[in-house]
């Protein structure tokens, strides 16, 4: 029973959920210009967790054929046949329905609608349409992962504005460097299952160049929040410092990738871990800013 429960939890991709919630709750702090209502935060977090989990489960069901062949994913529940595809599908629908009901009743209809849209985009847009067809899969498919910024804002304000849109775009430009660094590490896996991730079809130097370009746009976009949201000086200083660290890491990886395809030299996972830390601390800064500027 313990193994089965762990398998179902694994289908929801908890690490991905952690990142998504990290871009939800801080936005709620900024929207509330302080500490938001605890009950509202709990409802949004629970609904958001079920929503992200539902999308991940559907992704696992659809991709179970390639997950079984990839080193990174072959230990998941479906490739190991701990959970059947039918059971996983039912689980995904249950999570999706629960998330929609929770967000609709205890948050608001707009947040519920955005949640359903994110699930649909991840399943139909990324997983079924883009992932196996184009190198731009993660660029446009990554839009689904940007929705938590909108959901966090609308949970508090029940409306949209430019502030969450700017944060949406920060996550949008962050996703390719983050994902391509990981895909570079596992490019043989993706090549073996004919998934055309950018590191599969382009040399490492070109991947590094694309990562640097997206990183510069990401950092520039993060600084746009300052005038748009009228933050205190704390946020732009934090964003600039974090962005500088990210850009240094991105340029270093690009430099290491020139003239070699050796992963031991390129060390893409350094940038991958840096990207996780960058996004986490940037959104922590978003949450802190209204608390110190009150």
Residues 146-170: pLDDT tens digits?
999 999 999 999 999 999 999 999 9
Give the pLDDT confidence of 113-125 residue by residue, as tens digits: 999 999 999 999 9
- As a whole number, the mean pLDDT across the chain is 95
Question: Which pTM was predicted?
Answer: 0.95
Q: Is 82 exposed, middle or buried (0-12, 13-18, 19+ CB in 10 A)?
A: middle
Average pLDDT score over residue span 216-226:
98
Helix ranges (H only) for the chain are 2-11, 14-22, 25-32, 38-62, 64-67, 85-106, 109-120, 137-141, 147-157, 162-185, 187-192, 198-201, 204-229, 234-257, 263-266, 268-292
Of the CA atoms within 13 Å of residue 265, those in its CB half-sphere come to 12
The yes-or-no verdict on residue 71 having pLDDT over 90 is no
CA distances 261 to 69, 92, 257, Å, are: 23, 39, 7
CA distance 133 to 253: 27
CA distance 212 to 167: 19
CA distance 67 to 232: 46
CB atoms closer than 10 angstroms to residue 81 = 11
Confidence band, pLDDT 50/70/90 cuts, at residue 2: confident
Give the pLDDT confidence of 11-67 residue by residue, as tens digits: 999 989 988 999 999 999 999 999 999 999 999 999 999 999 999 999 999 999 999
The yes-or-no verdict on residue 1 having pLDDT over 80 is no
């Amino acid at each position: 029973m313990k193994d089965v429960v762990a398998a179902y939890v694994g289908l929801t991709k908890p690490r991905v959920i952690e990142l998504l919630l990290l871009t939800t709750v801080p936005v709620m702090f900024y929207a509330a210009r302080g500490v938001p209502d605890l009950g509202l935060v709990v409802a949004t977090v629970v609904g958001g967790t079920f929503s992200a989990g539902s999308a991940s489960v559907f992704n696992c069901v659809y991709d179970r054929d390639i997950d079984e062949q990839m080193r990174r994913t072959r230990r998941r529940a479906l490739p190991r046949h701990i959970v059947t595809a039918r059971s996983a599908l039912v689980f995904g629908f249950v999570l999706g329905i629960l998330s929609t009901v929770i967000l609709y009743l205890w948050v608001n209809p707009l947040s519920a609608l955005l949640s359903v849209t994110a699930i649909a985009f991840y399943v139909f847009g990324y997983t079924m349409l883009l992932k196996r067809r184009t190198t731009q899969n993660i660029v446009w498919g990554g839009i689904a992962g940007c929705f938590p910024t909108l959901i966090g804002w609308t949970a508090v304000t029940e409306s949209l504005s430019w502030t969450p849109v700017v944060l949406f775009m920060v996550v949008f430009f962050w996703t390719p460097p983050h994902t391509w660094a990981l895909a570079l590490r596992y490019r043989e896996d993706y090549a073996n299952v004919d998934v055309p991730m950018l590191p599969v079809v382009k040399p490492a130097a070109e991947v590094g160049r694309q990562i640097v370009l997206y990183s510069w746009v990401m950092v520039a976009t993060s600084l746009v929040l300052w005038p748009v949201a009228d933050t205190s000086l704390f946020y732009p200083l934090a964003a600039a410092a974090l962005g500088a660290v990210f850009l240094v890491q991105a340029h270093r990886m690009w430099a290491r990738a020139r003239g070699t395809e050796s992963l031991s030299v390129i060390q893409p996972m350094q940038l991958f871990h840096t990207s996780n830390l960058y996004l986490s601390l940037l959104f922590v800064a978003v949450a802190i800013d209204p608390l110190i500027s009150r």
